[in-house]
């Protein structure tokens, strides 16, 4: 029992009988502990109290929340950064550093890290003399600021290289990827790694050991001095790290090189000087448009996490799914089943084809047991999960399921038949969803007696990597169904966007103009490689013609038919795609499409341009136009924007921010541009209208929508 205790709004200060003091943080009103203004105020007040005496023998920092040390700084604080003057941001960094430096005063401090210890949370822990992490799988230590276009500004770039060496420090801070407790111990980031129940005792022991020797004094000396690193080592690190970063970011993100420079420059000088360098670099990054874009992307993601997917009336308490099932063990069904198992659900998987079913199981278990921190599948976890995956060849096995996702072949008659069978197999209140890419939900719902409990749940390939899920409302779908499916998608770690039933839903509809325009440009004689290079230069992970080859031209042809039937005035079915299909050029899977590949499949390399492509294109050639790389980019991305404006105008989505999340998470639209509408804002509506003018003769697809013209006239913005 503590000898005395004092409560602050976010922390408790307890003086123990042995003379040590424990500061235990619980930040109310947040799911995880985050560093709010109140936390900083309380920490300052607690340190003032300690300074008044009696002097503690040692200080232990810990969280009163299981599985959450500090998940980072409060987003609302970060969000204001791009709006503040640079000098003010620098001052905020300095103030945080000064406060953290007071943790290790006349006494040794140790942090007990159980759960997320990220960003400012890790910087807080680094400001302590010693650290104990737990072996629990929920424990992760990292500096994710780079993902927001920032660098650690509370001493992370100063203390980390002094503790673990500049190379590992650069890797940790520039990748933003966290490590678990054991990996943190191997790096030297923590001094001990023990099970959660032994952590506090371990911290006390560390304090006792440090009191007996000069460990803390030596460490403080090392933390204050420059890092011993000779010129050759520094130059080698600078060159190799810079090359790796360029490869990862294409030079589009200023934070990773700034982290490298700050760590290297800060390592060469005393810590006090390094701290000043860090504050300056942080303030400069916070003022960049890239940081503003990445903060926006983060913010709209957070908003999505809180969005129940329906209006307040339907949002009351979404039903919690406990027994999900999947029908169809193909590429998609297997991915969905793995996501479900991984999220902790005992899952039923049905496929009529026993061989396909059996073949899918090892991959599902491997994926479900994948450990992101060790980047390996955990065999023990896979074994444990095997007992939670029930497989069957008959739909009767779904009897106990409360949500079944149908993911069989994309054939309307087959889907309708399977959906009707699912409805007969499950309880009257179970929810039924379809992972269709192109079928109208209203059409599939015709097969069901109770369409209110039916909706689309459109995942993207590969399910393990693609976080977007379109939740599609049919005309009869109830609010309760949508809310339950949205909540379930979030429990699978996905980002669900609610979309009204209409051809192409949201993602394929905004993708199609981009793909279509690329094909038209090929017909005008522009090299596929040039079009793809321009798209990648814009920041897309791959160009539209590379994407065609990856999706498969047969699949794209079919999806294109659905869209051209619906929006024929702007998306005509191009004759080029069926000509490629007829020639057996389906893309990567056949070794040739717009490009020729060495081999087949997702890993096959492009072997160069292809005479046959040119021959087929010549048959459907269009008159050439004068084209610059700028026009190519305008022709790819402006029709995408126009379609997104129509989607919003027609109420297909409830909010423009959903479109931005969808294009980023499903199409790889570059996050550094903040989303389609944030990019549009960076150009301004009036300029967009001007840039569409020379393209107007291409047809309706390049004509500004009424809404765009209205925004341009009013000088308004797309993201407001």
Catalytic residue set: 458
Question: Which is nearest to 263 in space by CA: 238, 240, 246, 296?
Answer: 238
- CA dist 413 and 501 (Å) reads 19
Return the residue of 327, 469, 485, 531 that touches ligand NAD, per CB under 6 A. 327
Return the residue of 156, 181, 328, 528 that touches ligand NAD, per CB under 6 A. 328
**Please, which of residues 429-448 interact with ligand NAD by CB under 6 A?**
435-437
Segment (H or E) for 24? strand 20-25
Cα–Cα separations (whole angstroms), residue 353 to 357, 391, 421, 436 = 6, 11, 16, 20
Question: From the centroid of its chain, how far is CA 359?
Answer: 30
Q: How far is the CB of 551 from ligand NAD (least distance, A)?
A: 7
- CA dist 190 and 187 (Å) reads 8
Output 452 or 466, the one with its CB closest to ligand NAD.
466
- Spatial contact of 374 and 180, defined as CB atoms under 8 Å apart: yes
**Surface-to-core class of residue 615, CB atoms within 10 Å of its CB (0-12 exposed, 13-18 middle, 19+ buried):** exposed
Both tokens of residue 411? 């054939």
**Please, which of residues 351-370 interact with ligand NAD by CB under 6 A?**
351-353, 356
- CA dist 466 and 97 (Å) reads 38
Question: Which is nearest to 545 in space by CA: 504, 470, 597?
Answer: 597
- Applying CB under 6 A, the span of 155-163, 401-409, 504-512, 612-620 interacting with ligand NAD comes to 401-409
Output 110 or 512, the one with its CB closest to ligand NAD.
512
Q: How far is the CB of 70 from ligand NAD (least distance, A)?
A: 38
Contact between 467 and ligand NAD (CB under 6 A)? no
Return the residue of 242, 331, 442, 633 that touches ligand NAD, per CB under 6 A. 331
Q: How far is the CB of 362 from ligand NAD (least distance, A)?
A: 15
Output 387 or 602, the one with its CB closest to ligand NAD.
602
- CA dist 367 and 382 (Å) reads 9
Contact between 329 and ligand NAD (CB under 6 A)? yes
520 Cβ neighbours under 8 A, 6+ residues apart: 574, 622, 698
Return the residue of 83, 240, 320, 461 that touches ligand NAD, per CB under 6 A. 461
Q: How far is the CB of 505 from ligand NAD (least distance, A)?
A: 11
Question: Which is nearest to 154 in space by CA: 187, 114, 116, 126?
Answer: 126
- Spatial contact of 306 and 276, defined as CB atoms under 8 Å apart: no
- Applying CB under 6 A, the span of 206-214, 287-295, 346-354, 579-587 interacting with ligand NAD comes to 346-354
- Applying CB under 6 A, the span of 86-94, 122-130, 306-314, 405-413 interacting with ligand NAD comes to 405-413
Contact between 410 and ligand NAD (CB under 6 A)? yes
- CA dist 199 and 218 (Å) reads 24
Contact between 542 and ligand NAD (CB under 6 A)? no
Question: Which is nearest to 551 in space by CA: 521, 517, 508, 522?
Answer: 508
Q: How far is the CB of 438 from ligand NAD (least distance, A)?
A: 7
- Spatial contact of 230 and 238, defined as CB atoms under 8 Å apart: no
Q: How far is the CB of 393 from ligand NAD (least distance, A)?
A: 8
- Applying CB under 6 A, the span of 198-206, 256-264, 404-412, 604-612 interacting with ligand NAD comes to 404-412
Question: Which is nearest to 554 in space by CA: 528, 536, 580, 529?
Answer: 580
- CA dist 518 and 244 (Å) reads 31
- Spatial contact of 666 and 676, defined as CB atoms under 8 Å apart: no
Residue nearest to ligand NAD as judged by C-beta position: 330
Output 408 or 642, the one with its CB closest to ligand NAD.
408
- CA dist 408 and 414 (Å) reads 8
Contact between 497 and ligand NAD (CB under 6 A)? no
424 Cβ neighbours under 8 A, 6+ residues apart: 395
- Applying CB under 6 A, the span of 18-26, 155-163, 349-357, 440-448 interacting with ligand NAD comes to 349-357
Contact between 409 and ligand NAD (CB under 6 A)? yes
Contact between 463 and ligand NAD (CB under 6 A)? no
Return the residue of 120, 181, 325, 333 that touches ligand NAD, per CB under 6 A. 333
Q: How far is the CB of 176 from ligand NAD (least distance, A)?
A: 28
Contact track, ligand NAD, 243-282, x by CB under 6 A: ----------------------------------------
- Applying CB under 6 A, the span of 8-16, 329-337, 362-370, 702-710 interacting with ligand NAD comes to 329-337
Check the CA dihedral 40-42-46-51 and report its sign.
positive
Q: How far is the CB of 410 from ligand NAD (least distance, A)?
A: 3
Q: How far is the CB of 590 from ligand NAD (least distance, A)?
A: 16
Contact between 336 and ligand NAD (CB under 6 A)? no
Instruction: Report cis status (omega within 30 of 0) of the bond before 54.
Output: yes
Cα–Cα separations (whole angstroms), residue 390 to 324, 326, 362, 419 = 11, 10, 13, 20
Output 261 or 351, the one with its CB closest to ligand NAD.
351
Output 377 or 393, the one with its CB closest to ligand NAD.
393
Cα–Cα separations (whole angstroms), residue 325 to 368, 402, 449, 585 = 15, 8, 20, 36
Contact between 332 and ligand NAD (CB under 6 A)? yes
Question: From the centroid of its chain, how far is CA 478?
Answer: 29
Output 185 or 337, the one with its CB closest to ligand NAD.
337
Q: How far is the CB of 387 from ligand NAD (least distance, A)?
A: 23
Q: How far is the CB of 439 from ligand NAD (least distance, A)?
A: 8
Output 21 or 332, the one with its CB closest to ligand NAD.
332
Contact between 571 and ligand NAD (CB under 6 A)? no
- CA dist 127 and 73 (Å) reads 15
What is the residue whose two structure tokens read 């520039």?
A: 174
Contact between 418 and ligand NAD (CB under 6 A)? yes
- Spatial contact of 53 and 191, defined as CB atoms under 8 Å apart: no
**Binding interface with ligand NAD (CB under 6 A):** 327-333, 350-353, 356, 407-410, 414, 418, 435-437, 459-461
């Amino acid at each position: 029992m503590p000898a005395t205790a004092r409560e602050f709004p976010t922390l408790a200060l307890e003086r123990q009988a042995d003379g040590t003091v424990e500061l235990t943080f619980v930040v109310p009103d947040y799911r995880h502990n985050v560093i709010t203004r109140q936390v900083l105020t309380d920490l300052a007040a607690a340190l003032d109290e300690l300074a008044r005496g009696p002097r503690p023998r040692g200080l232990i920092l810990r969280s009163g929340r299981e599985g959450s040390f500090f998940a980072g700084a409060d987003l609302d604080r970060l969000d204001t950064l791009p709006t503040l003057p640079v000098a003010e941001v620098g001052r905020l960094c300095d103030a945080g550093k000064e406060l953290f430096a007071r943790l290790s005063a006349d006494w040794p401090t140790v942090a007990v890290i159980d759960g997320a210890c990220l960003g400012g949370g890790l910087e807080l822990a680094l400001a302590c003399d010693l650290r104990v992490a737990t072996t629990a799988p929920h424990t992760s230590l990292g500096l994710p600021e780079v993902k927001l276009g920032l660098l650690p500004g509370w001493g992370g770039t100063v203390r980390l290289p002094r503790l673990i060496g500049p190379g590992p420090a650069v890797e940790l801070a520039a990748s933003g990827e966290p490590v678990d407790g054991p990996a943190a111990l191997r790096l030297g980031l923590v001094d001990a790694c023990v099970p959660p129940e032994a952590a506090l005792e371990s911290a006390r022991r560390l304090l006792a050991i440090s009191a007996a020797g000069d460990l803390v004094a030596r460490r403080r000396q090392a933390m204050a001095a420059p890092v011993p690193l000779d010129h050759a080592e520094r130059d080698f690190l600078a060159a190799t790290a810079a090359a790796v970063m360029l490869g990862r970011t294409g030079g589009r993100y200023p934070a990773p090189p700034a982290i490298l420079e700050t760590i290297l420059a800060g390592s060469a000088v005393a810590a006090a000087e390094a701290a000043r360098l860090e504050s300056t670099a942080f303030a400069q990054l916070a003022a960049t448009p890239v940081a503003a874009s990445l903060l926006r992307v983060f913010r709209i993601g957070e908003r999505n996490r809180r969005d129940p997917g329906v209006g307040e009336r339907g949002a009351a308490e979404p039903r919690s799914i406990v027994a999900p099932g999947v029908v169809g063990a193909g590429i998609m069904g297997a991915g969905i089943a793995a996501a479900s198992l991984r999220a902790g659900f005992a899952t039923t998987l049905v496929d009529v084809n026993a061989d396909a079913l059996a073949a899918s199981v090892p991959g599902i278990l491997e994926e479900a047991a994948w450990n992101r921190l060790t980047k390996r599948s955990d065999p023990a976890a896979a074994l444990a999960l095997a007992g939670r995956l029930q497989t069957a060849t008959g739909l009767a096995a779904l009897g106990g399921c409360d949500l079944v996702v149908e993911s069989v072949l994309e054939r309307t008659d087959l889907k309708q038949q399977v959906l009707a069978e699912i409805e007969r197999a499950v309880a009257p209140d179970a929810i039924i969803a379809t992972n269709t890419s192109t079928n109208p939900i209203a059409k599939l719902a015709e097969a069901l007696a109770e369409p209110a409990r039916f909706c689309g749940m459109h995942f993207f390939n590969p399910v393990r990597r693609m976080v977007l899920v379109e939740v599609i409302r049919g005309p009869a779908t109830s609010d309760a169904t949508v809310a339950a499916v949205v909540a379930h998608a979030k429990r699978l770690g996905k980002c669900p966007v609610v979309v009204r039933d209409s051809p192409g839903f949201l993602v394929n509809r905004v993708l199609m103009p981009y793909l279509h325009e690329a094909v038209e440009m090929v017909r005008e004689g522009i090299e596929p490689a040039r079009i793809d290079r321009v798209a990648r230069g814009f920041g897309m992970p791959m160009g539209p013609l590379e994407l065609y080859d990856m999706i498969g031209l047969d699949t794209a042809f079919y999806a294109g038919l659905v869209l051209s039937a619906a929006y024929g005035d702007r998306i005509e079915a191009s004759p080029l795609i069926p000509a490629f299909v007829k020639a057996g050029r389906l893309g990567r899977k056949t070794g040739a499409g717009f490009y020729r590949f060495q081999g087949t499949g997702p890993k096959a390399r492009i072997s160069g341009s292809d005479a046959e492509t040119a021959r087929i294109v010549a048959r459907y050639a269009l008159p050439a136009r004068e084209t610059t790389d700028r026009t190519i980019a305008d022709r790819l991305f402006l029709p995408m924007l126009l379609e997104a404006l129509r989607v919003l105008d027609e109420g297909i989505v409830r909010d423009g921010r959903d479109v931005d999340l969808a294009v980023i998470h499903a199409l790889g639209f570059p996050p550094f541009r903040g989303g389609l509408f944030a990019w549009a804002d960076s150009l301004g509506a009036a300029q967009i209208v001007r840039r569409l003018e020379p393209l107007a003769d291409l047809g309706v697809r390049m004509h500004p929508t009424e809404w765009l013209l209205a925004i341009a006239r009013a000088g308004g913005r797309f993201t407001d």
